[in-house]
A and B are shown apart, each in its own frame.
Chain A
Amino acid sequence: MENEKLIYRIKFEKTGAMKFIGHLDLLKIFQRAVKRSVLPVAYSQGFNPHQIMSFALPLSVGVESIGEIVDVEFTNILDCCDTIEKFNLTMPNGLKVVNVRRLTTGEKNAAASLSSASYELVFPETITKSGLRKAIDEILTESQIIITRTSKKGDKQVDVRPMIHELTLLEFPVAVNTLIDTGSASNLKADVIAEIICEKLGISYTPGDVRIKRLALFGENGSL
C-alpha cells in the first residue's frame, strides 16, 4: 500500500479562555503549533502550499469543548503518544490534545462522517432544578418546535424537534446534557437549544449566561 496517505485524527479540548478564539484563528494556531513541534506535516502542492489539515466542525465563539477533532496529513508514520506530548508542550493553555490515532484505510474524514454531537449546558444558579426539569419535559413532549432561521436567502421556518435526540437533566450542577443533529445533512447549534430552554423557563437568553460545552462528536458508527 505504497500510496496510502498518513492521515491522523487528533482529538483535542478547547476550554477556558480559548473559547473566545474563532475558527480561522484556531486553524492558524494549529498550523503554528505543528511548525514549532517540528512534526513531519504534509503540504499541499501548488503555488501557495499549506498544511493539509481539516477540522470536523467549527465551534462557536464562547463555547467550550472536550471533544474537538482535526484530521492532519503527515509524511512519516507518527508515534501517537509522542505526538500528543509534542503538541501539548507547545499549545497555549486551554488547548490540549488528548488522543491521536491513524485513520484506517477508507475511513472518511471527520467532517464527512459527522452526524451528531453531544453538549452540556450549565445554567445560572438562579435557575432551579425543578424548573429545568419541567422545561425539558415540555420540550420532549412537543411534537414540533418551529424556529426562524435567518440566512442570505431570507427567513425560513424550521422544525428542530426531530434534530433533538436526547435531553437529560444532570444531578449537579444545574445542567442538561443533549444530543443533537450536527453536520452537513442536518445541523442544530447548541445555543439554539439553550435559547429554547430559556424560553420555557421564561427568561431571556444572553450568550455566556448559559455555559455550553461540547462533549463529543459522533458519526453513523459512533464516536469519531
Chain B
Amino acid sequence: MNISDTLLLKVEKPARYIGNEVNAINKTVEDIKIHFALCFPDVYEIGMSHLGLQILYFFLNRRDDVYCERCFAVWNDMESVMRENKIPLFSLETKANLKEFDFVGFTLQYEMSYTNIINMLDLAYIPIYSCDRTENDPIICGGGPCTYNPEPMAEIFDFFYIGEGEAALDEIMDLYNENKANGGTRDDFLEMLLNVEGVYVPKFYDVSYKLDGSIDSFVPNNPQAKTKIRKVIAENLDDYFFLEKQIVPLIEVVHDRVTLEVFRGCVRGCRFCQAGYVYRPVRERSCNLLLEQAGKLLDSSGHEEISLVSLSTGDYGEFKPLAEGIIDRFEDEKVSISLPSLRIDAFNLELMEKVQNVRKSSLTFAPEAGTQRLRNVINKGITEDEILTGSGIAFAGGWNRIKLYFMLGLPTETDQDLEGIVQLSEKIVEKYYEVGNRKISPSVTMSTSCFIPKAFTPFQWDKQDDYETLMDKQRLIKRSLTKRQIRYSYHCAGTSVMEAIMSRGDRQVIRAIVKAWGMGARFDGWTEFFKYDLWLDAFEKTSIDITKYLRERNYDEILPWEHIDIGVSKEFLINERKKAYEEKTTSHCRIACVGCGADSFLGGACFGE
C-alpha cells in the first residue's frame, strides 16, 4: 500500500498517517509468524497519549515471532480521501492493509468510540459482524475498560480479553501458532481460547430476553465455555514486563511526555468510579525499579517531561522518596515532572512548585458533590474543610486559579446538593480574598459532568437521569450562580445519556450503534461531531426503547455483564450500595481491608500481613 503525496497533502495533518517515529519498531513481515494490528479508535494525537497502547506495543514486539503495528481512527478529511480513492485502512509502520493481519486488536477505552471501531473495520474492508467473517479475515479482538461490559459490542468481536495484557497475551499468541501449524480454522482457534483464563468468546454464549426486555437467560452453547470469565492480572508488577522505551511522536500529541506507571488499582473506593473497582487489587511497583525505569524512559525518548500516573498517585506508599529521587536525578537535565491526581496539601504544593518549571498553573479539586451528605453517599473521602484549607494554602502560595469538578445526577441527589456546588465554589472565592493576593483576582472554573452508572460499581443498579432532567439541573446551577469570578462549564447531557445506554447495554444495542454509524456518526466523544438527534433517530429506527437502559435495575435480574468476574463480589457491591443510601462511608484499603474479594488474586492480603 502506498498512498501518494498528493492525497496526503489534501488532509489537514498528514503526519498522523506516516508512522516513522523514534523508537517505533521495524521488522520484516516475512520473518514473523503473527502480524498484529493494535488499533486505537480515536485520532492519532489521542491514541499516542495512551500508556496502555505503548505497553502492549512493546510487550508484543518483544517476541521475535510477532510484529505488532499501530493503527488509529482516521480524521474525517482522511476518511473522505480514502473512500474516494478506495484506499483500505492501513497500519502506520509498514502501511499494510489491516485485512491482511492475523489479529486486529482494539482498545475499548470509551463507549463513544464504538462507531469509530465499526468505521475502521469498514474502511479496512473487514466484515463488521463476527458471524460474517471468513478464513480470509483477521481475528478481531478487544480489551480495555469497556470490556467489563462487552455486550453491546459482542456481535462485532471474535473475542474479548478481560484484564491486563501482560497476564495471558503470550498464551494466546502461542495457541495461535499452534493452531496455524496444525492447519486449524478460525473456529478451532476460538475454541482453543475457551481454556484461556480471561478470554470471552461471545459466539459461544446464547442470550434470551424476557418480554420486558431484561435478560431471561445467558448460557454457554459450547461445552467448553465457562459460565464465568474471570479477569486476569499481573499479580506482582515488579516481576512482569516493564516499559523501557516509548514511541516519541513526530507531531504534538495530547500528552507529550513519558509516562511512569506507579501502581495499578486504587485504595479509595469512590462508589461511582468503575476504574476503582475493576482494577483491584492495588499493586505497587517498587520505588527503586521506578527510578531506574524513569531514567531509561527519559534517556531513550529525549522528552522534557515525565508524568507519574496511577488512579491516585499521592496514595503511592513511597511517594516522597520517588518524587524526590526523580527531582535529584533530573534537575540538571531540565526535566519537569507532571503530577496528576495529587491531593492538595502543604507538602504536595511545595513539591509542585519545585518540579514544574513553568509558571503556577491552575490547581484541581474533584469534590464530585456539593454537600458533605452526598460526598458520603458516593464515598468521596474529601471534606469541605480539606478543600478550603488546601485552596487557602495554594492561594497564600501565589496560586490564583482553581478548577473544581462535580457530577450531576448522583444517586439520592436533591436540589440542595446542586446548590451546594455553587456554595462551595463561592466559599473558595471568599477564601481567596481572605488569604490571596488582592491585586489579582481569582479565577474558579466550576465544571460539572453527568453521573453515569457503570458496571461493577455499587451504583450499577441505579437509574440514569434522562436528558431533560440533566438539562434542568444545569439550568438550576446557572441560575444560582452570582459571583463573577466563577466560570461554569458543563458536559453535554446528550453524550452522557448515550454513554449510559452503551455502558450498561446488552447485545441488542449494537443495532442502534451500527445504524447511527450508517447515518454518519463518527468521533461521538468529540462535541463538534456528536449529534444527539441522530442517535435518538437511530434508536427509534431500530425500535430500541432507550428508557429500558436508563432505568433502575433489580438485584435479582441478570445484568448483561454478569458472566464477567472482576474478583470483587456482588455481595460487597450490594452492601456498599446499602451503605451509600444510609450515607455511611467505607474506609480506604490501607486503613483496613474492606473485604471486597479482590485479594483472592494475590492469595493473601493486599497490604502488609
Contacts and interface: CB of A to CB of B under 8 A. Distances in A.
A92 B21 contact: yes
B18 interface: yes
Interface string B290-302: 0000000001111
B7 A208 contact: yes
A208 B334 contact: no
Given A17-B18, A21-B250, A36-B301, A48 B358 contact: yes
Nearest to B299: A36
Interface in B274-331: 299-304
Contact of A20 (B8, B302, B357): B8
Contacts of A211: 5
B575 interface: no
B1 interface: no
Contacts of B357: 47-49
Contacts of B239: none
Contact of A208 (B9, B19, B252, B359): B9
Interface in B95-115: none
Contacts, number: 76
A17 B6 contact: no
Interface string A23-45: 01100110111111000000100
Given A36-B300, A62-B5, A90-B22, A28 B252 contact: yes
Range of interface residues on chain B?
A: 20 to 34
B527 interface: no
A42 to B, nearest CB: 12
B302 A33 contact: yes
A19 B303 CA distance: 22
A61 B303 CA distance: 24
Contact of A32 (B6, B9, B18, B303): B303
Interface in B1-33: 4-10, 14-15, 18-22
B145 to A, nearest CB: 31
Contacts of B358: 48
A18 B20 contact: yes
Given A25-B252, A47-B359, A208 B15 contact: no
A94 B20 contact: yes
Given A20-B18, A94-B20, A31 B8 contact: no
Given A21-B15, A211-B5, A32 B20 contact: no
15 contacts: A20-B15, A20-B18, A21-B251, A25-B15, A36-B22, A36-B299, A36-B302, A43-B334, A47-B357, A62-B9, A90-B22, A206-B6, A208-B7, A208-B8, A208-B9
Given A48-B357, A48-B358, A90-B302, 6 more contacts: A18-B250, A32-B248, A32-B302, A36-B22, A94-B20, A208-B7
Task: For the complex of A and B, list the 9 residue pairs with the smallest distance between their C-beta atoms, beginning with the closest.
Answer: A32-B302, A208-B6, A35-B302, A208-B5, A36-B302, A208-B9, A17-B18, A20-B14, A207-B9
Interface of B: 4-10, 14-15, 18-22, 248, 250-252, 299-304, 333-334, 357-359
Interface of A: 16-22, 24-25, 28-29, 31-36, 43, 47-49, 61-62, 90-94, 206-209, 211
